[in-house]
Amino acid sequence: MKKAGIQSSSSQLPISPSVGFGPQPDLVSSRGGAPARQQLPFSVIGSLNGVHMFGQNLEVQLSSAKTEDTTVVWKSFHDSITLIVLSSEEGTSELRLERLLQMVFGAMVLLVGLEELTNIRNVERLKKELRASYRLIDSFLGDSELIGDLTQCVDCVVPPEGSLLQEALSGFAEAAGTAFVSLVVSGRVVAATESWWRLGMPEAVLLPWLVGSLPPQAARDYPVYLPHGSPTVPHRLLTLTLLPGLELCLLCGPRPPLSQLDAQLLERWWQPLLDPLRACLPLGSRALPAGFPLHTDILGLLLLHLELKRCLFTVEPSGDKEPSSEQRRRLFRSFYTLVTATHFAPEPGQPEEKAEEVVHRAQVPRACYLVLGAEEPGTGWRLVALQLGPRRLLLLLSAQSPTHGLRGLATHTLHALTPLL
């Protein structure tokens, strides 16, 4: 997605994609984008908000609309804030935009709190407070290497010596006096305590994403709200940089103070594990340990555990081949929305289906594939999806991979990855 964001009420809203606020006219706004980007007049933004309010007055819920080249999605939260997103990106689905709006509102609650958003006393003050969420929201609108915003699963990596890191993490958590601790590399969770893994959505996705979006800093004491678990009472997110790009994250109340987490405590638990920690650094984009056997036709993979709400995502395999990493990420996002919206059963935690949709899904497929371009030997990249139990695997394969062998290759790969997630 092209980058956009939120700006003052006097600015204009970029069209691809953008996020606006309502229903209060003063909140219909955007951060603005690149100067060369096409802008929508403020009157159009007001009209988009107005038609949504008009429908509400008639007890009609307007959720989405399409023009020849633009998709618009509206979503209201707590009868107070309405978010509007527009995208002119080819192939953008309503599912993708709806989940984007959920993440945007989650980011607002995470850094401002639900009370400020549902009981708005001063619009100008709220706009100033929302500036704290700009960087996080911008990261959703850009070309992120993460995918948890779409899958609603936590982006994870598999460290080569995970048991050692997990043991140290549990010991450090006890010494620090908090049950919520994780190791995060480039916005992905390397290891976490049981209590951290039990965090609800969307904070389980938002917290590591927030850490990955912030500029490097040796230590932080960051106030956060938990959109699901504690939307009105703030907690403290403490971060400590162990190595550049690798951070220790603690979620706690008033204690411990950041000063208590001194160098001596860190050295006691983490100095002996310096080499395993260094081995985590390349995992930011690779997700899998070095040397993990993958078929040479695989150009990228996305493995989801739908019950644990965790995922492994990488486009690193055969990085010297076409398509580019950016193209691969776009292909995965488009293919994920396609199979999730049209082929596979609803994911756990999603709204229940209507009766006619249940009948339509009487025969739920376990696998599907897509060939990009002409289906001839040696042409067109292949995308295949396979679901077995709680796991769903998506693969991007080179043009040399024969279509008749896609399901077998996906099944073999899923079995190999199952012990990791």
C-beta of residue 146 within 8 angstroms of C-beta of residue 187: yes
What does 127-161 look like in DSSP terms, one character per residue? HHHHGGGHHHHHHHHS--S--HHHH-SEEE---TT
> Strand 230-243's sheet: what is its strand order?
219-226, 230-243, 246-252, 180-185, 188-192, 154-156, 310-314, 298-305, 391-397, 382-388, 367-371
Bond into 23 cis (ω within 30)? yes
Judging by beta carbons within 10 Å of its beta carbon (0-12, 13-18, 19+), is residue 39 exposed, middle or buried? middle
pLDDT per residue as tens, the chain (421 positions)? 433 333 222 222 233 344 554 433 334 334 544 334 456 778 888 888 888 888 888 888 888 988 888 899 999 999 889 899 988 888 788 999 999 999 999 999 999 999 999 998 889 999 999 999 999 999 998 889 999 999 999 999 999 999 999 999 999 999 999 999 999 999 999 999 999 999 999 999 999 999 999 999 999 999 999 999 999 999 999 999 999 999 999 999 998 888 888 888 889 999 999 999 999 999 988 899 888 999 999 999 999 999 999 999 999 887 778 889 999 999 999 999 999 988 887 666 665 444 445 445 556 778 999 988 765 666 689 999 999 999 999 999 999 898 899 999 999 999 999 999 9
CA torsion angle for 119, 121, 123, 125 (degrees, to 10)? -110
The DSSP bridge partners found for residue 19 are 85
Q: Which pTM value belongs to this model?
A: 0.87
Q: CA dist 390 to 234, 269, 303, 304, 335, Å? A: 33, 35, 11, 8, 19
Nearest Cα to 277, choosing from 236, 240, 250, 305? 240
| Cβ-based neighbour number of residue 365 at 10 Å | 14
The DSSP bridge partners found for residue 237 are 222, 251
- Backbone Cα Rg of the chain: 22
Nearest Cα to 205, choosing from 149, 249, 247, 251? 149
pLDDT on residue 375: 58
Write the CB contacts of 45 (distance below 8 Å, at least 6 apart in sequence): 12, 13, 20, 28, 29, 30, 84
Helices (H), 203-297: 203-213, 263-270, 274-278, 283-286
Measured in residues, the chain has a length of 421
The DSSP bridge partners found for residue 18 are 86
In the numeric block, the tokens 């991979």 are attached to: 401
Q: CA dist 353 to 63, 257, 350, Å? A: 17, 47, 9
Local structure of 333: helix, strand or coil: helix
Please report which helix (H) or strand (E) contains residue 312, including its range. strand 310-314
C-beta of residue 61 within 8 angstroms of C-beta of residue 55: yes
Helices (H) and strands (E) in the chain, counts: 15, 17
Give the CA angle between residues 196, 202, 204 to the nearest 5°: 20
C-beta of residue 56 within 8 angstroms of C-beta of residue 82: no
Nearest Cα to 421, choosing from 187, 189, 183? 189
Q: CA dist 321 to 282, 300, 384, 399, 401, Å? A: 20, 11, 19, 11, 14
State CA 3 to chain mean position distance.
15
CA 239 – CA 358 distance, rounded (Å):
45
